[in-house]
Amino acid sequence: MKQVHVVGLGLNHIDLPLSTSQVIKEAEFLVGGERLLDVFKDHPAEKIPIKSPLSGMITRIKKEALSDKQVVVLADGDPGFFGIGKHLIESLGAERVILYPNVTTLQVAAARLKIPWDAIQTVSLHGRDDLWHLLRALVSNDWVAVYTDERFNPARVADELLQRGVDTFTMWVFENLGQEGERIRHFELNEAAKKTFSHLNFILLERHKSPEIPLHLGLEDNLYLRQKGLITKREIRAVGLSVLEIQPNHTVWDLGAGCGSVAIEASVLAHDGIVFAVERNPARVELIRQNIRRTGAYSVEVISGAWQGISASRP
């Protein structure tokens, strides 16, 4: 089986080293997104656009490599950074894959803003059905980079964050980076939600203020908005959460969440997991949402209604 070459094109394929350009030139089977393949429309190789499911495409790549064809997979930026490189290595084995790294969109965006990129938390929404990864990242990071897709474009991301009560971040949108028509704009989330953007876009979310209440275990009871007497007391919360032995990747359900104090503090422990706060009283649901906004516990999802039957469709 021939090795599969995975080439990161960066932002401009013209800047590729000669040795990398030669690898592409010698390709007999060229794989990539339709936009990338269009760059090499005059290339004589057989061209296959990457489509879902990815497993089927990887099977085809393996078949062509087993037939001793030179297979080249084209990738945006760096194939090892939120790219197809990881999937190919996992499926074919590291010894059967050669990666050709390049500059990432994140690096270029950070350079445009003249900020370091090593501390920027990065998430990808490609192929996802929800924003869990993004919401978790917003809790404890001042800069969050977002690789978008057609479903989660900047306007939708901004709208979803607004619905979650996120008011501590502004949005930088980078369009057509490194190409003709490059544009960089800075928005409040409510502004971004009303705009339209190029399909080639990238997001940086910048924290512009801290939450009203710093999020941690053992918050004082009087910091929570609540109906009179309806709160799990601080000492009980502390003991209860300790006994539950919540791990970072756990899913936590708070049924009859009241003002949301248990769910909010559980999210500190399940910081890589999911926390649901279920409450059927509309007034208390609104209190939970306000407490999430005030503490910045954005990874808590509020479910309005009775708990029976809800969990069947959830993790």
- The residue written with tokens 């029976």 in the block is 308
299 shares a domain with 287: yes
State pTM to two decimals.
0.90
113 shares a domain with 57: no
118 shares a domain with 191: yes
Domain C-terminal end among 207, 242, 275: 207
Domain C-terminal end among 159, 179, 207: 207
Structural domain boundaries enclosing 89 = 4-103
The pair of structure tokens assigned to 64 is: 């062509």
Cis before 116? omega within 30: no
Question: Is the per-residue pLDDT at 107 higher than 70?
Answer: yes
Q: Under a CB-based contact definition with an 8 Å cutoff, are residues 234 and 259 in contact?
A: no
Whether 216 is covered by a domain: the verdict is: no
CATH assignment of the domain containing 272: 3.40.50.150
Task: Please tell me the distance from the alpha carbon of residue 216 to that of residue 301, in angstroms, as a whole number.
Answer: 18
Q: Whose CA is closest to 159, among 187, 128, 137?
A: 187
| Angle, CA of 32, 33 and 37, to the nearest 5° | 65
236 shares a domain with 157: no
Q: What is the pLDDT of residues 223-262, one digit of tens each?
A: 999 998 889 999 999 999 999 999 999 999 999 999 999 9
Q: Count of domains in the chain?
A: 3
Domain C-terminal end among 157, 173, 207: 207
Q: What is the pLDDT of residues 155-188, one digit of tens each?
A: 999 999 999 999 999 999 999 998 889 999 999 9
Whether 214 is covered by a domain: the verdict is: no
Whether 149 is covered by a domain: the verdict is: yes
65 shares a domain with 48: yes
**Coil/strand/helix, residue 252:** strand
- Which residues lie below 8 Å from residue 290, measured CB to CB, with a gap of 6+? 165, 225
Q: How confident is the model at residue 305 (pLDDT cuts 50, 70, 90)?
A: confident
